Amino acid sequence: MNVIDEHAQYGASSIPAGDLWFGEYYAPDVRFALQCQPVAQERSPYQQIDFYRNPTFGIFFTLNGYVQVTSKDEFIYHDMIVHPAMAVNPDIRRVLIIGGGDGGTAREVSRYPGIEKIDMVEIDEAVIRLCRRFLPQTAAVFDREPRLTLTIGDGVDFVAKAADGAYDLLLVDSTDPVGPGEGLFTAAFYQDCYRILSPKGIMINQQEGAFYPQDIWEMQRAHKKVSAIFPVSKLYGFNMPTYASGYWYFGFASKGLDPLQDHHADQWRRLGLKTKYYNADIHRASFALPNYVLDVLGQA
Ligand code: AG3
């Protein structure tokens, strides 16, 4: 288990001995830890779900021991999964969110008046139920968004059954490729994603980190498969304090639109959306990759 109960050992710590810590291993010898109070735990048919409270990060929850969302930094992830694609194709009307049971991705999508429908398919109702109760910051959207249709089910089946060209934007807000998220990292799934996108369609998918070996391996596999199917397949990064190495990536894939050449910065700005992380400069900068990341992708 990832929860560790231990004495604070570093420096002249103000943390009293015996406090409870949540720890996530980034490598067998590297662990990120947050002092915590347990809030709720549930073992669903799909995964272990744990909610905690930490003074600095607020409420946070983990799936199978991996941090998913914290109150403090979720704005970064949710800005970055939604806004870049919306600034590339301002005509996006029909959106499909796969996963994202906390509601943060749906919340950001719902801010666009031009969006006509938001379909969302989440495999685990327990994530939604617990987020509604403990994380209204992200989950309140479920109770107030009339354009949103929530399906509890398997995203892989959902896309397999969806009609050709049915969506302008797919947001794959998945966990890591272990457990219920696994199918969302397969070539068959990406193939269906391609098929159900309109000609100006864009797919954004959670594509891991590029620093620790396990994350690198998963990033490489995902990127290779997406690039084999989509003519445009790029990676963009963002600073995520509670994910491994503090830096994380999304894949941007499309049938032709390019995230930089087709960036409609002025049109996006005119919408007047207030964002705490995303802006036009961040949009451009996020697609610039460090050499070691290019190396991971075989593009060095
Ligand atoms: N989705 C999971 C991001 C990856 C987390 N992985 C990790 N910590 N190893 C977050 C859901 C936000 N809506």
Q: pLDDT tens digits, the chain, 300 residues: what are they?
A: 455 554 444 433 444 555 899 999 999 999 999 999 999 999 999 999 999 999 999 999 999 999 999 999 999 999 999 999 999 999 999 999 999 999 999 999 999 999 999 999 999 999 999 999 999 999 999 999 999 999 999 999 999 999 999 999 999 999 988 888 899 999 999 999 999 999 999 999 999 999 999 999 999 999 999 999 999 999 999 999 999 999 999 999 999 999 999 999 999 999 999 999 999 999 999 999 999 999 999 988
Q: Report how far ligand 1's centroid is from the alpha carbon of 22 (Å).
A: 16
Q: Report how far ligand 1's centroid is from the alpha carbon of 146 (Å).
A: 26
Q: Report how far ligand 1's centroid is from the alpha carbon of 174 (Å).
A: 7
**Mutational test site, ligand 1, from 206, 215, 217, 248, max ligand atoms within 8 Å of CB:** 206
Give the burial class of 48: count Cβ atoms within 10 A of its Cβ; 0-12 exposed, 13-18 middle, 19 or more buried. middle
| Rg of the chain, C-alpha, whole Å | 19
Beta bridge partners of 249: 237
Distance, CA of 254 to CA of 217 (rounded, Å): 23
Report pLDDT for 300.
Answer: 80
Distance, CA of 173 to CA of 206 (rounded, Å): 6
Query: CA of 118: how far to CAs of 106, 132, 149, 225, 262, in Å?
Result: 8, 18, 6, 26, 23
Nearest-atom number in ligand 1 for the CA of 243 is 8
Give the burial class of 273: count Cβ atoms within 10 A of its Cβ; 0-12 exposed, 13-18 middle, 19 or more buried. middle
Which backbone phi and psi does 77 adopt, to 5 degrees?
-60, -45
50 catalytic per annotation: no
Q: Is 138 in the pocket of ligand 1 (CB under 6 A)?
A: no
Q: Is 175 in the pocket of ligand 1 (CB under 6 A)?
A: yes
Q: Is 102 in the pocket of ligand 1 (CB under 6 A)?
A: yes
Q: Is 254 in the pocket of ligand 1 (CB under 6 A)?
A: no
Report pLDDT for 2.
Answer: 56
Instruction: Tell the residue nearest (CA) to atom 2 of ligand 1.
Output: 175
Q: Is 206 in the pocket of ligand 1 (CB under 6 A)?
A: yes
**Residue tagged active-site, from 79, 173, 192, 215:** 173
pTM, 2 dp? 0.94
Report pLDDT for 3.
Answer: 59
Q: Report how far ligand 1's centroid is from the alpha carbon of 232 (Å).
A: 24
Q: Is 176 in the pocket of ligand 1 (CB under 6 A)?
A: yes
Q: Is 69 in the pocket of ligand 1 (CB under 6 A)?
A: yes
Nearest-atom number in ligand 1 for the CA of 209 is 9
Query: CA of 270: how far to CAs of 81, 93, 280, in Å?
Result: 20, 18, 12
Q: Report how far ligand 1's centroid is from the alpha carbon of 175 (Å).
A: 5
Q: Is 209 in the pocket of ligand 1 (CB under 6 A)?
A: no
Q: Report how far ligand 1's centroid is from the alpha carbon of 208 (Å).
A: 8
Report pLDDT for 202.
Answer: 98
Instruction: Tell the residue nearest (CA) to atom 5 of ligand 1.
Output: 68
Element (H, E) at 120: strand 117-122
Distance, CA of 66 to CA of 251 (rounded, Å): 20
Give the burial class of 51: count Cβ atoms within 10 A of its Cβ; 0-12 exposed, 13-18 middle, 19 or more buried. buried
